Amino acid sequence: MKKAIITGITGQDGAYLSEFLLKKGYAVFGLIRRSSSFNTGRINHIYTDPHDPNGRLKLIFGDLTDGSNLAKVFHEIKPDEVYNLGAQSHVRVSFDQPVYTADVDALGTLRILEALRSVKTPVRFYQASSSEMFGKVLQTPQTEKTPFYPRSPYGCAKVYAFWQTVNYRESYGMFNCNGILFNHESPRRGETFVTRKITRGATRIKLGLQQKLFLGNLDARRDWGFAGDFVEAMWLMMQQDVADDYVIATGESHSVRDLLDETFEILDLDWKKYVEIDPRYYRPAEVDTLLGDSTKARKVLNWQPKVNFKELVRMMVESDLRLAQRDKTKLRHQESDEEDVKMIMAQTAAGSLGHKK
């Protein structure tokens, strides 16, 4: 049985990749950070009892800032494949925490590469590189040959990780791949990324749970795909005879405004009545437009996306509508529970439920 280690298993892509690899028959080992509250919500449905000898998903504590722990994990598990999906992945936040972002996203990748170099069994390595590296784009559409021009601490950190991944491949003959993935979304997307923020906000507005939606730059354009399609490309890269780097994208670009049109139209609402601009969501430097050309992946990996923009938005709206409905029901129950508590307390104070002497 093949063994894969996934860093960032609790994130959006980690959850989809785990499901994908388990279906392929892999034993999956996920690195998780210690957290003061549960952080395994996206993988609970596939998590198996750690003491079950047949359980194929195991979780191990670790952190990309702790190199000695990474080396220990690799030596103990001797994986066939390592997928480095762990990152401080929010571009806006990277402006507030540039040093931390570089430590996790740039040096974290270097720590993995150094640890893997000392593992004696052959290991294949996947690095979650990003279209954010193209930043202020020098060419459209962007291919594997387009020069990088990062526009954020996150983008700079990912460029560093990209080149170290290439460098270790060329210097030490390691099987290292960079997947240069354009934005990919899903119902499991973090709530502060713009797609999910919009589908979540709009569905809550529809059910009366929220009045307004505050956003930043509505003119930004992105090449948005479905995360479930994109994790298949990660795996395909790792199955080739030769390690290489690939752009993974849909080849279609839409603005945040298009996203608002599409989302609110499904819900029969006019977004202009609900959306307000909050400059806090502007970035010190913006990536205005991204559009990927994944011809190489389509030819060499025989990969192509299955879900288009409209289908993606509909999938996210339906899922968020279900969650909003659940929240509304919970709220109603809470209100009636609150009423019950008040009534009981009032009766107690009035003596009808008072303690018997």
* Residues annotated as catalytic (active site), given as ranges: 130, 132, 154
CB of 269 to ligand NAP, least distance (A): 26
- In degrees, rounded to 5, the angle at the alpha carbon of residue 156 between the alpha carbons of residues 154 and 162 is 100
In whole angstroms, give the CA distance from residue 124 to residue 4: 9
CB of 220 to ligand GDD, least distance (A): 3
- If the CB atoms of residues 126 and 274 are measured against ligand NAP, the closer one turns out to be 126
- If the CB atoms of residues 169 and 197 are measured against ligand GDD, the closer one turns out to be 197
Phi, psi values for residue 58, rounded to 5°: -125, 145
Binder of residue 13, out of ligand GDD, ligand NAP, none (CB less than 5 to 8 A by kind): ligand NAP
Residue 192 as a binder of ligand GDD (CB under 6 A): the answer is: yes
Instruction: Report whether 151 contacts 285 (CB < 8 A).
Output: yes
Chain center to CA of 185: 8
Binder of residue 222, out of ligand NAP, ligand GDD, none (CB less than 5 to 8 A by kind): ligand GDD
Give the contacts of 60 (CB within 8 A, at least 6 positions apart). Answer: 29, 30, 31, 32, 73
- In degrees, rounded to 5, the angle at the alpha carbon of residue 324 between the alpha carbons of residues 92 and 222 is 35
- If the CB atoms of residues 14 and 135 are measured against ligand NAP, the closer one turns out to be 14
Instruction: Report whether 213 contacts 202 (CB < 8 A).
Output: yes
Question: Which residues, numbered 201-240, are part of the site for ligand GDD (CB under 6 A)?
Answer: 215-217, 220, 222
Q: Give the residues lining the site for ligand NAP (CB under 6 A).
A: 7-8, 10-14, 31, 33, 35, 39, 63-65, 85-89, 104, 128, 130, 181, 183-184, 190
- If the CB atoms of residues 81 and 205 are measured against ligand NAP, the closer one turns out to be 81
Match 């998780």 to its residue by tokens: 32
Number of residues that bind ligand GDD (CB under 6 A): 23
Question: Which residues, numbered 256-275, are part of the site for ligand GDD (CB under 6 A)?
Answer: 256
Where does this chain touch ligand GDD (CB under 6 A) — which range of 34-42, 89-97, 297-305, 336-344?
Answer: 89-97
Taking the CA of residue 179 as centre, how many other CA atoms within 13 Å lie in the half-sphere pointing to its CB? 26
Binder of residue 91, out of ligand GDD, ligand NAP, none (CB less than 5 to 8 A by kind): ligand GDD
- If the CB atoms of residues 18 and 131 are measured against ligand GDD, the closer one turns out to be 131
Phi, psi values for residue 148, rounded to 5°: -85, 150
Instruction: Report whether 90 contacts 97 (CB < 8 A).
Output: no
CB of 44 to ligand NAP, least distance (A): 13
Chain center to CA of 256: 18
In whole angstroms, give the CA distance from residue 64 to residue 70: 7
E strand or H helix at 158:
helix 153-172
Binder of residue 192, out of ligand NAP, ligand GDD, none (CB less than 5 to 8 A by kind): ligand GDD
Residue 109 as a binder of ligand GDD (CB under 6 A): the answer is: no
Beta strands at 221-222 and 254-255: parallel, antiparallel or unpaired: antiparallel
In whole angstroms, give the CA distance from residue 297 to residue 248: 7
In whole angstroms, give the CA distance from residue 348 to residue 354: 5
Nearest-CB residue for ligand NAP: 11
Taking the CA of residue 240 as centre, how many other CA atoms within 13 Å lie in the half-sphere pointing to its CB? 22
Binder of residue 88, out of ligand GDD, ligand NAP, none (CB less than 5 to 8 A by kind): ligand NAP
CB of 200 to ligand NAP, least distance (A): 15
CB of 251 to ligand GDD, least distance (A): 15
CB of 99 to ligand GDD, least distance (A): 18
Binder of residue 146, out of ligand NAP, ligand GDD, none (CB less than 5 to 8 A by kind): none
Q: Applying CB under 6 A, which residues contact ligand GDD?
A: 89, 91-92, 130-132, 182-183, 192-194, 197, 215-217, 220, 222, 256, 281, 283, 286-287, 290
